[in-house]
Amino acid sequence: MLPSRVTLVDVGPRDGLQNEKQPVAAEHKIELVHRLQSAGLREIEVTSFVSPKWVPQMADNAQVMAGLRRRAGVRYSVLVPNLKGLEAALQPARDGWPDEVVVFGAASEAFSQKNINCSIAESIERFAPVVAAAREAGIKVRGAISCALACPYEGEVSPDRVEQVVRLMQGIGVQHVGVADTIGVGTPRRVQAAMERALKHYPLAEVSGHFHDTYGQALANIYACLELGVHCFDASVAGLGGCPYAKGATGNVATEDVVFLLHGLGIETGIDLDALVDTAAFVSGVLGRKPVSCVANAVLAK
Binding site for ligand HMG (CB under 6 A): 15, 18, 48-51, 53-55, 79, 81-82, 84-85, 88, 104, 115-117, 144, 146, 180, 182, 210, 212, 243, 245
- Do the beta carbons of residue 138 and residue 99 sit within 8 Å? no
Q: Which is nearer to ligand HMG, 211 or 277 (CB)?
A: 211
Q: Alpha-carbon distance 168 to 235, whole Å?
A: 25
Residue 74 bridge partners (DSSP): none
Q: Which entry of Mg ion, ligand HMG, none binds 55, CB below 5 to 8 A by partner kind?
A: ligand HMG
Q: Alpha-carbon distance 127 to 62, whole Å?
A: 21
- Identified binder of Mg ion from the candidate list 15, 45, 206, 213, rule CB under 5 A: 15
Q: Which is nearer to Mg ion, 85 or 184 (CB)?
A: 184
Q: How far is the CB of 252 from ligand HMG (least distance, A)?
A: 7
Q: Is 71 helix (H, G, I), strand (E, B) or coil?
A: coil
175 φ/ψ angles, rounded to the nearest 5 degrees: -95, -15
Q: How far is the CB of 140 from Mg ion (least distance, A)?
A: 19
Amino acid at 75: R
- CB-nearest residue to Mg ion: 15
Q: Which is nearer to Mg ion, 90 or 102 (CB)?
A: 102
243: annotated active-site residue: yes
Q: How far is the CB of 301 from ligand HMG (least distance, A)?
A: 29
Q: Is 29 helix (H, G, I), strand (E, B) or coil?
A: helix
Binding segment toward Mg ion, per CB under 5 A, in 9-17, 75-83, 92-100, 292-300: 9-17
Q: How far is the CB of 284 from ligand HMG (least distance, A)?
A: 20
Q: Is 79 helix (H, G, I), strand (E, B) or coil?
A: strand
Q: Crossing angle of helices 294-301/273-287, nearest 10°?
A: 100
Of 147, 151, 232, 243, the catalytic one is 243
Q: Alpha-carbon distance 9 to 208, whole Å?
A: 9
Question: Which letter does DSSP use for residue 15 in this model?
Answer: I
Q: Which is nearer to ligand HMG, 79 or 281 (CB)?
A: 79
181 lines the binding site for Mg ion (CB under 5 A) = no
- Cα–Cα–Cα angle for 45, 98, 50, rounded to 5 degrees: 65
Q: Which entry of Mg ion, ligand HMG, none binds 151, CB below 5 to 8 A by partner kind?
A: none
